[in-house]
Amino acid sequence: MSIRAHIPLLYHPTNVVILDDDPSFINVVRQAIDHSTPYLSSSDPHRILNYLHTHTYQQDTLSSLLVHPSFESIEKAETVETFDVDFSKLRKHLNQPDHYKKVVVALVDQSMERLDGLEFCRTVREDGLLVKLILFTGKAGTAKAVKAFNEGIIDAYLSKQDAHWTEKINELIAHYSWQQFLDLAHSLGGFISHVMKPLYDEQFSEIFEHVRHREHVDEFYVLDSGCSFLLLRNSGAAKQLLVRNEADYEDVYEFAKNSKAPYDVLQALRNRQQFPYTPQPMGYTKLQEDAWDEVMIAVDKIPGRELYYTIIDRPDVTPFSFNKYFKEVWPKP
């Protein structure tokens, strides 16, 4: 299991675009692509360009799901900027299949009669469309592809003469899909790297990848600046990766002590063994006395970090699943 160094704020299955004017080669690509990956194929570059204009993510996609940032006081002279996801907006996002219709990777043939593949890619870049472009090259096209790669016109190229290209194509799709979702976070600029440091932490990434594979997670969405995530399987089954840090523990301990929580609860908080979980953010602020016992859950510590995590079932989250999209909506996206 390879460990990805950085974690995007959201990730989900998407359509892969295939643009080529050779029907026989399109069929070969269709067979090579993982059978669980939906695709849209066409020989018409103008049709594909129009589709990309309406089915690629915008720069403000992530910020539209976030509540306006707030500033929490740590000490009198220090504040920290935090945020929570607007869960009602996220639910609306998840209850529709539209996000699965998005395109983050396009496979483009270099040599086409109606429009040269590199010219198509150049137009995509000029239009500012957020999609990774992988170019198929022929015998004489590698030099131009290298130049286009160095100029940022394409993200990768794959020679049709490569005996192993059908094996490499799924690796490229997976890699550049992940990378495009990472790039979406750049629209939030320094806010992400400053507040959400675990996303760039090797130890946290290792735990995240372990959880993702163990729980068979196919898509995920950040929930707060502490780097908690909503985790979804293709079936629609939902769980939550709850992540808390030392500042969270200090805050909740004060709430628990002031609301006369039982001694065992206070001890579990002091020892970083448990944390209160309520479906509503900061729901523990309304708890009194023995009510704390009902919401405490065990947590594990991330080795070498002052971060604590646990996995929680979320049966209250019932999205339009990818499996339903794959069976009922695709191949007519």
pLDDT at residue 65 is higher than 80: no
Please, which residues bridge with residue 225 across strands?
Answer: none
Q: Are strands 238-245 and 307-313 parallel, antiparallel or unpaired?
A: antiparallel
Q: Which string of DSSP letters, residue by residue, matches 26-52?
A: HHHHHHHS-TTS-EEEES-HHHHHHHH
* pLDDT-derived band at 332, boundaries 50, 70, 90: low
Topology of domain 12-187, CATH: Rossmann fold (3.40.50)
Please, which residues bridge with residue 243 across strands?
Answer: 309
Rounded CA separation 258/5 (Å): 40
Lowest pLDDT segment from 185-199, 281-295, 319-333? 185-199
* pLDDT-derived band at 163, boundaries 50, 70, 90: confident
The mean pLDDT value of the chain amounts to 88
**Greater model confidence, 187 or 80:** 187
* pLDDT-derived band at 76, boundaries 50, 70, 90: very low
End-to-end CA distance of the chain: 32
| Domain boundaries of the chain, sorted by first residue | 12-187, 240-313
Q: Which string of DSSP letters, residue by residue, matches 233-273?
A: -TT--EEEEEEEEHHHHHHHHHHHHHTT--HHHHHHHHTT-
- The pLDDT assigned to 74 comes to 41
pLDDT at residue 77 is higher than 80: no
Task: Give which of 9, 12, 65, 7 is closest to 238, Cα–Cα.
Answer: 12
Mean pLDDT of the 161-169 span: 87
Lowest pLDDT segment from 78-82, 182-186, 242-246? 78-82
Lowest pLDDT segment from 99-113, 272-286, 294-308? 272-286
Beta-carbon contacts of 241 under 8 Å, excluding residues fewer than 6 positions away, are 208, 211, 220, 228, 229, 231, 309, 310, 311
- Alpha helix positions (H), the chain: 23-32, 45-55, 87-94, 117-126, 142-150, 165-184, 190-195, 202-214, 246-258, 263-270, 322-324
**Greater model confidence, 162 or 203:** 203
Peptide bond into 331 cis (omega under 30): yes
